[in-house]
Amino acid sequence: MALPQPDGRRPAPAPVPFVILAGAGATFFVLPLLGLLVGAPWRSAWVLLTSSEALTALRLSLIASLSATAIALLLGVPLAWVYARVSFPGRAILRALTVLPMVLPPVVGGVALLLAFGRRGLLGGWLADVFGIHLPFTTAGAILAETFVAMPFLVITVEAGLRSMDTRFEDAARTLGARRWTVLWRVTLPLVRPSLVAGTVLCWARALGEFGATITFAGNFPGRTQTMPLAVYLALESNPQSAILLSLVLLLVSLAVLVGLRDRWLGTS
């Protein structure tokens, strides 16, 4: 039963109360999913899932969460690199601000986004006046909200990877005459690939499940800003059966990706 250790030995057996506590912990996570599975209206599942509202919400959720992940990669990887490699005054505070959305209640995050990117916001007012760009109540706004909440997961994961990697490979590449971009692309990023993948997946999963910041900043309109979690929330009141089914789809998609990637890229099985 026990997993073999890297050196092939079996680990010492754990004390029984410890195993019981672990079992209780696992049950705590399995039971709610089981509740959804048991409570789901399987008979009408196909009709509910292929309804146009469900498909519209699912499509929008995929578009928004993938776009948010792409933006997070574009901005988050350089940011993680700076946090891991460059020392500058105020780095600790800036870094704390970057991970703040992880602990901030998402609704508060949404209000903060309105105050920054809204029509009367710090930057939003200027965006509206100069470029005529309005972010609240648009799909772009939903993507912005998801990025805000999800990007910290990517940044801290990649930063941890960069900190724990052996920098001598980069030094060797540079002494051999490789340019900065080449070192980054051919040495650094491939070496931190596990953290890069893990961070990307976490970021995407968080973006997919995002609710509070999205409904506060982008509002709720089918096809434009009503992502799956919003559809679930509103359906919970008028059509709970459909809400349970939508939640299950959301859960299963995330679960499939998390399990699949764990085996494929993180080197654990």
Partner 1 sequence: MRSRVTAGLIAILLAACAGQRAPAAPTASTLTVFAASSLTDAFTRIGADFQTAHPGTTVHLTFAGSSTLAAQIQQGATGDVFASADQATMQRLADAGLVSGSPSIFARNRLQIVVAPGNPRHIGGLADLSRAGLIVLLCAPSVPCGRYASQALHAAGVTVTPASQEPDVKAVVSKVALGEADAGIVYVTDVKAAGAGVQGVDIPARFNVTADYPMAVLQDSRQAALARAFINYVLAGGQQILARDGFAAA
Which chain residues interact with partner 1 by CB under 8 A? 114, 118-120, 136-137, 215-216, 218-222, 225-226, 233-238, 240
Q: Which residues contact 1 (CB under 8 A, 6 or more apart)?
A: none
Degrees, nearest 5: CA angle 100-105-111 = 90
CB of 218 to partner 1, least distance (A): 8
From CA 78, how far away is CA 155, in angstroms rounded?
9
Based on DSSP, count helices (H) and strands (E) in the chain, helices before strands.
Answer: 14, 0
Cβ proximity to partner 1, 189 vs 236, nearer residue: 236
State the residue for tokens 């039971």: 31
Q: Which is nearer to partner 1, 60 or 158 (CB)?
A: 60
Least distance from partner 1 to the Cβ atom of residue 181, Å = 42
Nearer to partner 1, 104 or 236 (CB): 236
**Nearest Cα to 58, choosing from 187, 254, 246?**
246
Q: How far is the CB of 161 from partner 1 (least distance, A)?
A: 39
Residue with Cβ nearer partner 1 (101 or 121): 121
Is residue 109 within 8 A of residue 148, CB to CB? The reply is yes
**Which residue number, 54 or 72, has a Cβ lying nearer to partner 1?**
54
Q: How far is the CB of 71 from partner 1 (least distance, A)?
A: 22
- Distance CA(44)–CA(246), nearest Å, equals 12
Rounded least distance, CB 48 to partner 1, Å = 16
